[in-house]
Amino acid sequence: MRSRFAPSPTGPLHLGHAYSALLASDMAHAAGGSFLLRIDDLDQSRSRPEWEVQLKEDLHWLGLDWPEPCRRESEHLADYEAALDRLWQMGLLYPCTCTRRDIREALSAPQEGTPRTGPDGLVYPGTCRPPAPPSGPRPRDGTLRLDMARACVALSAPLSFTETGAGPEGETGPITTGIEKMIDSIGDVVLARREMGAAYHLAVVVDDAAQEITHVIRGRDLFEATRIHVLLQRLLALPTPVYHHHRLIRDDQGKRLAKRDDARAIALYRGDGKSPQDIRVLVGL
């Protein structure tokens, strides 16, 4: 078993991250496997080397260890480019110039009905989707979307994965997603972004395959996005790991913690003299 923790170095490590990392490490070690760290620093406009240093220090303090050097996304851009090339050659990507506002406006047209929301927000209305796959070389900059309907036709295996934790509605065990759900409730997701190259959904499947991750242990908020990840694994002929989506650590008001919840930064608990064992108790481990 190989698990991983994949933080973005865009802020302090907080209790929610600590829970996710400790659980991924505990589960791997209980099974005699290994735990890996990956630095999700694709978004160079928000990633900072200081945060990476701090988060590694906090993780070590918590008692976690991983093989070094760890994978840093910014050092593997060619891998993501190759995956995008492959999807482009399969005729499954198209350039999109819509702004968020364009999308909201298109969806407010009366014939559109009630807008749907998927894992990435509003389901794209298809404004830029071409009637036939674009020809010529893949554009190197700008947004590229996946043509979901076309992608589903290209599939030769069902979109299934094994969930050993639970989704937001308690979904567990074998999870299969129908093609209609992929098209109607998820739609044409963004796989490449201006100034960023690959988007999260593409990078995460390439990374998990490159690191030979067998078990992805992460927060329940990513359960729905897993359907996109499994689809990309099928299209790119990559293995599908087992997924374990865990409960989210919430603040006193019941809201899930975000990076900006600096009040729950591990560094502050450390400064207050708390021990790693205190952190385990706080997150219910």
Binding residues for ligand GLU, rule: CB under 6 A, are 6-8, 40, 204, 218, 222
207 backbone dihedrals φ, ψ, rounded to 5°: -65, -50
Is the CB of 40 or the CB of 52 nearer to ligand GLU? 40
Quick one: angle between helices 77-89 and 200-210, nearest 10?
A: 110
Region class of 13: left (phi > 0), else alpha (psi between -120 and 50), else beta: beta
State in angstroms the smallest separation of the CB of 169 from ligand GLU: 20
Q: State the Cα–Cα distance between residues 101 and 99, nearest whole angstrom.
A: 5
Is the CB of 46 or the CB of 129 nearer to ligand GLU? 46
Give the C-alpha distances (Å, rounded to integers) separating 162 from 54, 110, 122, 158, 226.
34, 39, 27, 13, 11
Task: Give long-range contacts, CB 8 A cutoff, 24+ apart: 263-272.
Answer: 264/14, 264/15, 264/16, 265/12, 265/13, 265/14, 266/12, 266/13, 266/14, 266/15, 266/17, 266/18, 266/58, 266/61, 266/62, 267/12, 267/13, 267/54, 267/58, 270/58, 270/61
State in angstroms the smallest separation of the CB of 173 from ligand GLU: 21
**91 neighbors 135 (Cβ within 8 angstroms):** no
Is the CB of 6 or the CB of 228 nearer to ligand GLU? 6
Is the CB of 124 or the CB of 223 nearer to ligand GLU? 223
State in angstroms the smallest separation of the CB of 51 from ligand GLU: 12
Is the CB of 7 or the CB of 197 nearer to ligand GLU? 7
State in angstroms the smallest separation of the CB of 40 from ligand GLU: 3
State in angstroms the smallest separation of the CB of 263 from ligand GLU: 19
Is the CB of 140 or the CB of 260 nearer to ligand GLU? 260
**202 neighbors 191 (Cβ within 8 angstroms):** yes
State in angstroms the smallest separation of the CB of 129 from ligand GLU: 27
Closest residue to ligand GLU using C-beta atoms = 40
**75 neighbors 41 (Cβ within 8 angstroms):** no
State in angstroms the smallest separation of the CB of 224 from ligand GLU: 12
Q: State the Cα–Cα distance between residues 117 and 123, nearest whole angstrom.
A: 5
Is the CB of 82 or the CB of 258 nearer to ligand GLU? 258
